[in-house]
Structure 1
């Protein structure tokens, strides 16, 4: 009956109760003392690492040696802070690393580890296992949250387990978590201080520039930056938001950093709060034509990444003039912002805005406060506007769409979601109302100019 109920029923030997219970309790207490001494030794080693000025990399290495497996340390944003590969790891662990960790800056972006596994480990505040089914066999991965008080600071991830870790090794990890949290706090504080210094430098570089090129390069070198090469400036903003919410800004930044690391490894990504700025590096020798070809390829790859990862967020990209030296970066930044502004009024479907393609529109935009410019649209489209107001039709929108589509009737009809015959009827009606043929270039130019001015001023 005891076996059926899985009860630990023991049959006593021919001995007194004391003779049995004393050795048993002694063995249990000895095991507990050994576990406590082991945990204390782990804590001592980890604390010694921290106090000696070493960081997360050394902690990961020591923990890996103690438990005999590969260890990954992440922060609360799931960004990998340290990785220690154990010498005895097998092919299966190498496969996990190849599939998941090494290509990713953040595990949040991983296509292999389900994000829910990370979330569950944090929510439950206890170790969570995840099974990998690989060609070389099944392996377990341990996710051990780093928690101090009520704060989550990161995660200890142990790879390549053929079975769940024994209690003693879990004790080692638990003993290390307090030191890991302190190390993460320390590294975050250093990183935040460095980021503030860099942001101050970038703000001056972008907004006003430096008195001399040498002054800018010297300050850049002090911050570990190299700005001697030709650069392209891209500005990324979310339509309708003057300041990016913190979480959205971080998510956008991770996407940008991944695309930059894959396509322009020497590029620099700056999160300015209002938006994200990219400084692409194109060396000193490339011709302008080749540079612009590469800039356009990069920009559309970035747009595709935004479309895939943020399909419902209106992300816009502005590309400024090419910067031949560090002192022209400020102009590159301002022209990228201008391209964003003008592109938001002229371009559809959140197409990237290249300043060089929009420079003619900028000339018109510079005169936006002129009364003559403001009244030109009203005078040119007066008859159509009056007709639409009286009848409730949209002939003005039809004409502007026809102009935007380069006089292509099929494209215009598709954009307006009407049949081509309906479009032909509308265009004929427009000619009647305006008293002018839409086939005459001089009239089309006036309509085109008025339409552009209206968009720039809207």
Structure 2
């Protein structure tokens, strides 16, 4: 008879847990467990972040739970999503109810998968908006209204934070990154190419947000860095803010702010209508063709000449050539391009052409 009573209790508890997670997610799942057997419980992800707790403000030893160490009075079970370890559930409950923790872990895994899928949908919508703004596919008015729908007051000054990290190459690390995105985030946050992007209000909390952002990235891999733009208002200025934050990343690991604006780089980044890279290839095409036909190094010579600020000693040392060889190459460059390398206008023009080709990290190529 006792076994029959236990079976009835198990069925009732199972139904309560299923209803709880369906109605209230992870928090509802733990409330149902608490109501059914009086258990205090917590669910954490693989990074130790608390996803749900009952009581809500209970102080748990998260490192102990994360390590999986057995502890008297605490029942711990692993949570899996798609076969990958996603976190743990820990509960203090009567010994005869420990079997329910396994079910809680299974239901938590199902709920985490559902939550991750919902986050992906929301982030795809936000990413589409960011790309539309960066590519100038929206008017400022449309961009402003769509940003407001996502909780961003584009009319007020804001900053763009761009983060980058070399993540651990494992499915587990990728899952950890996705799980971190489940935490409630008051800011617009998307993954744009190799960067994680945040749009935050310009206030006294900016530096703390940037530091927190950096710590999150550091937990996921190596070389974590964050670039912070200057404050700007208006949806259209989001593009310039994004550029500033990306260029600030070049300073290396840590949190960095932009230095002096490089107008040439800014033009490269913001110009969509003019095919600057293709035009740069055409401008330098005579040198590229001559190099291909003769085995010379005129493109490299021009690059070295400009990057070394036309210092003959520095250029010859860099290219390992005699100064007469350099003089002959410069004359050939002037002849092929029809320019005078003493002209500041020509120097600026060809410096920009070389910089445009650097931007896409590919050699000069013939443009039809």
State TM-score, norm by structure 1: 0.49
Corresponding residue for residue 102 of structure 2:
174
Contact 1:130 1:141 in 2 (8 A): no
Matched, 1:145 2:74: no
From 58, 63, 73, give the equivalent of 2:28.
58
Q: Which secondary structure does the structure 1 equivalent of 2:261 belong to? A: helix
- How far 1:168 moved relative to its partner? 1.5
Matched, 1:453 2:346: no
Gaps of 5+ in 2: 332-340, 358-363
Q: 1:117-162: CA deviations, max 9, x gaps?
A: xxxxxxxxxxxx4247xxxxx8866124368xx9789655216x7x
Contact 2:144 2:234 in 1 (8 A): no
Higher alpha-carbon Rg:
1
Matched, 1:269 2:189: yes
- How far 1:166 moved relative to its partner? 6.5
Q: What's the C-alpha RMSD, in Å, of the aligned pairs? A: 6.1
Q: Which secondary structure does the structure 1 equivalent of 2:138 belong to? A: coil
From 207, 210, 234, give the equivalent of 1:325.
234
Question: Aligned partners of 1:348, 1:86: CA distance in 2, in Å?
Answer: 41
From 277, 287, 301, give the equivalent of 1:378.
287
Corresponding residue for residue 264 of structure 2:
360
Gaps of 5+ in 1: 1-28, 102-112, 115-128, 133-137, 240-244, 414-420
Q: Which secondary structure does the structure 1 equivalent of 2:156 belong to? A: coil
Corresponding residue for residue 309 of structure 1:
221
Q: 1:360 to 1:435 in 2, by over 3 A?
A: closer
Q: 1:71 to 1:44 in 2, by over 3 A?
A: same
Contact 2:26 2:51 in 1 (8 A): yes
- How far 1:407 moved relative to its partner? 8.0
Q: 1:235 to 1:186 in 2, by over 3 A?
A: closer
Question: Aligned partners of 2:42, 2:321: CA distance in 1, in Å?
Answer: 65
Question: Aligned partners of 2:216, 2:83: CA distance in 1, in Å?
Answer: 36
Q: 1:81-129: CA deviations, max 9, x gaps?
A: 3122489x7xxx64x24x589xxxxxxxxxxx45xxxxxxxxxxxxxx4
Contact 1:236 1:277 in 2 (8 A): yes
From 159, 163, 180, give the equivalent of 1:232.
159
Corresponding residue for residue 25 of structure 1:
none
Question: Aligned partners of 2:253, 2:261: CA distance in 1, in Å?
Answer: 15
Question: Aligned partners of 1:372, 1:199: CA distance in 2, in Å?
Answer: 31
From 69, 73, 85, give the equivalent of 1:130.
69
Matched, 1:278 2:198: yes
Contact 1:237 1:316 in 2 (8 A): yes
